[in-house]
Amino acid sequence: MRADKIPAGSPRGKRRVTILGSTGSVGCNTVELVEAEPDAYAVEALVAHRNAELLAQQARRLKAKFAVVADESKYRALKDALSGSGIEAASGAQAVVEAAAYPADWVMAAIVGSAGLAPTLEAVRRGALVALANKEVMVCAGELVTAEAKRHGARLLPVDSEHNAIFQVFHADHSHAIDRIVLTASGGPFRERALKDMADVTPEQAVKHPNWSMGAKISIDSATMMNKGLEVIEAHHLFDLESERIEVVVHPQSAVHGLVYYSDGSVLAQLGSPDMRTPIANTLGWPNRIPAPSPKLDLAKLAKLTFEAPDPARFPALRIAREALVAGGGAPTVLNAANEIAVAAFLDKRVGFLDIAAIVERTLEALSGRRIDSLADVYALDAEAREVARRFTGNRAPSGASRAAFG
């Protein structure tokens, strides 16, 4: 990192960092990059949900000032594991927000789900560089988050590989000359599976992503392709483009992550191996480039890159998400909350795989026409949508009976 790019106020020229969700898949990759360059970074705070043991290990290794577990029942375990280290420990939702308030120049938002909204907003309101992995935050409250970022001079740095790709080739000064962008999708583990065979897939099969190693929730979202739907909404907010100008193309090799079509016919794309350390490093070093240990893309070895249109019949979630984006108001908030509930129920084996999209669609129908004017509205609608979606999940087994209920 060049000294002239280091934000003022950083101790000994280090970039001060906080990692929200440090024990997760994105979080651990971030920890690895930070740990590799101890002279470049000073760690302010780390946050996890329940994994006090790993959190304490990370906090000790990175010499963090503050470590927080959201789950209050894990406080004692965290406190004991940090005993004698001088690192402050805390627990609970308010402490998570306090962690985001620590004076980090750069904050990784990698909590999963809308639980990440309050701490992400806290970092945004401090005017920090916010590396945004948590797409659910943008889906449930994108307009509020982007407005707050503008008001407080915060910079949102997209971490999702597709959005990070677009971010790298999207020349904002020439945005009038951008026709559309393309997000690529691997197609997930069931890309070639017949619809009739998708009804009985298990969570164990669904979390096995062919190219990426990720947390359980996003892996299921990838299998249903709701992930790409959430990403279309995220891209809408990050790049200020309407749904028709955000295309999705299935690209099973996951080498091309995103493309920008310019009006002169030029298409700029970003490529790389499917390894989250590359987009994370792109945001961690931003505006400079720093090394990442990701395997370098070997095009000759890949031999061919293929592209195909997504299949709307087998992957209805993408259509449902687009419809929510076009409907606007509270629809994306409802979509996100219902999806979080449906995915949790699927992971719990209480509903079947095809029920996920059906539950989301039913919840959207039940709560259509809702408006969002404030953060309080987001929280209220998120809670209501969870309640409605929960009613649709019930305690059903993932059997034919369950599918019939949504058929």
Ligand X SMILES: NC(=O)c1ccc[n+]([C@@H]2O[C@H](COP(=O)([O-])OP(=O)(O)OC[C@H]3O[C@@H](n4cnc5c(N)ncnc54)[C@H](OP(=O)(O)O)[C@@H]3O)[C@@H](O)[C@H]2O)c1
- Stretches 79-87, 165-173, 213-221, 362-370: which one binds ligand X (CB under 6 A)? 213-221
Q: Which is nearer to ligand X, 53 or 323 (CB)?
A: 53
Is residue 75 involved in binding ligand X (CB under 6 A)? no
- Stretches 25-33, 75-83, 295-303, 339-347: which one binds ligand X (CB under 6 A)? 25-33
Q: Which is nearer to ligand X, 24 or 310 (CB)?
A: 24
| Host H or E run for residue 107 | strand 106-109
The CB-of-258 to ligand X minimum distance in angstroms stands at 12
Cα–Cα dist 273/296, whole Å: 6
Contact letters (x/-) for ligand X, 282-321, by CB under 6 A? ----------------------------------------
Q: Which is nearer to ligand X, 10 or 120 (CB)?
A: 120
Is residue 364 involved in binding ligand X (CB under 6 A)? no
The answer to whether 321 touches 229, Cβ cutoff 8 Å, is: yes
3-class SS of residue 142: helix
| Host H or E run for residue 335 | helix 331-347
What is the Cα gyration radius of the chain? 21
Amino acid residing at 272: G
Amino acid residing at 318: L
Is residue 21 involved in binding ligand X (CB under 6 A)? yes
Interhelix angle 161-169/277-285, rounded to 10 degrees, is 50
- How many CA within 13 A on the CB side of residue 305? 15
Per residue, the 3-state secondary structure of 132-146, as one string, reads ECCHHHHHHHHHHHH
Cα–Cα dist 55/21, whole Å: 9
Is residue 59 involved in binding ligand X (CB under 6 A)? no
DSSP 200: T
Ranges within 99-158 binding ligand X (CB under 6 A) = 110-112, 115, 133-136
Structure tokens at 149: 């970022």
List 207, 214, 284, 356, residue binding ligand X (CB under 6 A): 214
The CB-of-276 to ligand X minimum distance in angstroms stands at 4
For residue 56, which of 81, 84, 21, 23 has the smallest C-alpha distance?
81
Is residue 67 involved in binding ligand X (CB under 6 A)? no
Is residue 276 involved in binding ligand X (CB under 6 A)? yes
Is residue 189 involved in binding ligand X (CB under 6 A)? no
Is residue 258 involved in binding ligand X (CB under 6 A)? no
Structure tokens at 297: 């893309």
The CB-of-157 to ligand X minimum distance in angstroms stands at 13
Q: Which is nearer to ligand X, 69 or 372 (CB)?
A: 69
Structure tokens at 390: 């929960």
| Residues at the interface with ligand X (CB under 6 A) | 21-27, 47-51, 70, 96, 110-112, 115, 133-136, 160, 212, 214-218, 276
